[in-house]
């Protein structure tokens, strides 16, 4: 399959998953969670979705538990919204990339605010 088509399918899946997540009523999934990355295998049999939460890794793990329990519903909704012959099996994984990037941003801001003590 061409890389252009795979990229388009990956973005379509990401867009629709974001919309489906907003509709879920599970309290573990509610809140500030985001899809960091979506990886689809070349034969469209598996789709790995990396989830991150503003509350940290523990909240992301709770969100993954909620998403795993709703995986059948999410897959059915994805199949109804996208014109795919075979809807991939969804695998959810927690990642702390939002927390990590917030930490990096804080470090960079701290470096900018330090006074210059260099003698000229």
Tens of pLDDT along 55-109?
A: 888 999 999 999 999 999 999 999 999 999 999 999 999 998 777 777 788 888 8
Which residue range(s) make up the domain with 28? Answer: 3-113
Over the chain, what is the mean pLDDT? 88
CATH for 49: 3.30.300.20
> Is 0.85 surpassed by the pTM of this model?
no
In this structure, is residue 118 part of a structural domain?
A: no
One-character DSSP codes across 24-60:
---TTT-SSEEEEEEEE-TTSSEEEEEEEETT-HHHH
Q: Return the number of other C-beta atoms located less than 10 Å from residue 44's C-beta.
A: 17
């Amino acid at each position: 399959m061409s890389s252009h088509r795979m990229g388009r399918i990956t973005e379509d899946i990401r867009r629709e998953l974001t919309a489906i997540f907003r509709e879920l009523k599970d309290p573990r999934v509610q809140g500030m969670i985001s899809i960091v990355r979506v990886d689809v295998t070349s034969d469209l049999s598996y789709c790995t979705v990396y989830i991150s939460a503003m509350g940290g890794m523990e909240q992301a793990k709770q969100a993954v538990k909620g998403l795993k329990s709703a995986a059948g519903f999410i897959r059915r909704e994805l199949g109804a919204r996208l014109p795919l012959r075979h809807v991939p099996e969804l695998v959810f994984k927690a990642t702390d990339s939002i927390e990590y990037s917030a930490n990096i941003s804080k470090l960079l801001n701290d470096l900018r605010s330090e006074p210059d003590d260099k003698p000229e």
